């Protein structure tokens, strides 16, 4: 692990809720190598958060390992950042309970994600679903993180974490570093191949290209990609008028580095039939090294285990120091061991 002492610390948890897809990769993951060079990064597979929704145990274990392998293959070098599985560091759950006692009912009831997830899981509106923002605050505050990458859907959680940290500090004195939200560099916004007005999502398998898809499956999905029902049939970037073609052009630009103007010239005089297989082939070649490296890592079980074991050990060392301070602040008797 490189010396990270002079770097600001960044932390991010990623739920192992599904396989990495092209939208995830081009929209965010490709930029992560820049972040790990700039910050002391901690990334964890948030399996504790995953069980607020019922999971198949075997699938959850598989996804946690697969996702970790994919992120390593995508550029999260274990020599440059700390990678671990959340449930391997029990301090997350312990601090999560304590912060439950410093997070107000009204604050939790206003969380929009609780409302959204409750609407989707009406038969399983459990206590964890309601209080998980306190666990998320614990995830961040355990590591005295300076920054937390946030998208629009996570700003509310970051604000709550800051409020809880300030509240605790005001009662007991300086204990937690109050984190700042970090707006990461955003890559291309990749839309569904079957419904180009919606973002690419694993809930739409026909329109979603997964990193681990076989080349022939990727080619078939692009062959069936929705273009546009206009009479023009020319390859031109116009997101409102031609969302399907514009999405394919955006994907092609992202994986080849070509500008949209260059792509328009490349397909001048050609129809959609030429664009779709060309984009599919470019995506296949772009994802090939990522897929092959992910497969290699997954096959090397000893290596993958060493990554999350060493990551958990380093994370535990940092988390334990914070938790000891918290235990002392709230008045718990010091542990005899």
Q: Give catalytic residue positions.
A: 117, 199, 202
Closest by CA to 144, choosing from 328, 331, 330, 315, is 315
How far is the C-alpha of 19 from the C-alpha of 66, rounded, in Å?
A: 8
- Which positions ≥6 away from 326 have C-beta within 8 Å? 95, 98, 175
How many CA atoms lie less than 13 Å away from 250 in the CB half-sphere?
A: 24
Look up residue 101 and give its two tokens.
Answer: 């006692």
End-to-end CA distance of the chain: 29
CB atoms within 10 A of CB 130: 17
Instruction: Identify the CA nearest to 30 among candidates 74, 68, 67.
Output: 74
Q: Pick the closest to residue 45 from 85, 74, 89, 83 (CA basis).
A: 85
For residues 208 and 175, the answer to whether their CB atoms sit within 8 Å is: no
CA-to-CA distance for 142 and 96, rounded, in angstroms? 10
Contact 7, 38 (CB under 8 A): yes
């Amino acid at each position: 692990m490189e010396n990270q002492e002079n770097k600001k610390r960044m932390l991010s948890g990623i739920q192992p809720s599904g396989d990495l897809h092209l939208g995830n990769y081009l929209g965010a993951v490709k930029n992560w190598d820049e972040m790990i060079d700039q910050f002391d990064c901690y990334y964890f597979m948030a399996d504790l958060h995953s069980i607020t929704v019922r999971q198949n145990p075997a699938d959850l274990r598989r996804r946690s390992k697969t996702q970790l392998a994919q992120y390593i293959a995508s550029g999260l070098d274990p020599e440059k950042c700390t990678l671990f599985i959340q449930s391997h560091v029990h301090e997350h759950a312990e601090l999560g309970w304590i912060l439950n006692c410093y997070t107000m009912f009204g604050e939790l009831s206003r969380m929009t994600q609780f409302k959204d997830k409750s609407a989707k899981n009406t038969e399983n509106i459990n206590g964890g679903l309601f209080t998980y923002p306190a666990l998320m605050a614990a995830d961040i505050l355990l590591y005295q993180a300076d920054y937390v990458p946030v998208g629009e859907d996570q700003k509310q959680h970051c604000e709550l974490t800051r409020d809880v940290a300030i509240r605790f500090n005001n009662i007991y004195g300086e204990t937690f570093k109050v984190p700042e939200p970090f707006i990461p560099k955003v890559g291309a916004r990749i839309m569904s191949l079957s419904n180009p007005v919606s973002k690419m999502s694993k809930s739409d398998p026909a329109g979603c290209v997964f990193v681990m898809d076989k080349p022939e499956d990727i080619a078939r999905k692009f062959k069936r990609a929705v273009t546009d029902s206009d009479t023009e049939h020319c390859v031109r970037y116009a997101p409102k008028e031609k969302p399907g073609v514009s999405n394919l052009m955006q994907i092609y630009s992202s994986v080849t580095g070509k500008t949209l103007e260059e792509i328009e010239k490349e397909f001048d005089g050609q129809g959609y039939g030429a664009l779709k297989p060309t984009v599919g082939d470019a995506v296949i070649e772009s994802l090939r090294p990522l897929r092959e490296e992910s497969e290699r890592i997954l096959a090397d079980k000893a290596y993958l285990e060493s990554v999350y074991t060493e990551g958990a050990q380093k994370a535990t060392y940092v988390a334990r120091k914070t938790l000891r301070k918290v235990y002392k602040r709230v008045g718990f008797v010091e542990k005899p061991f």
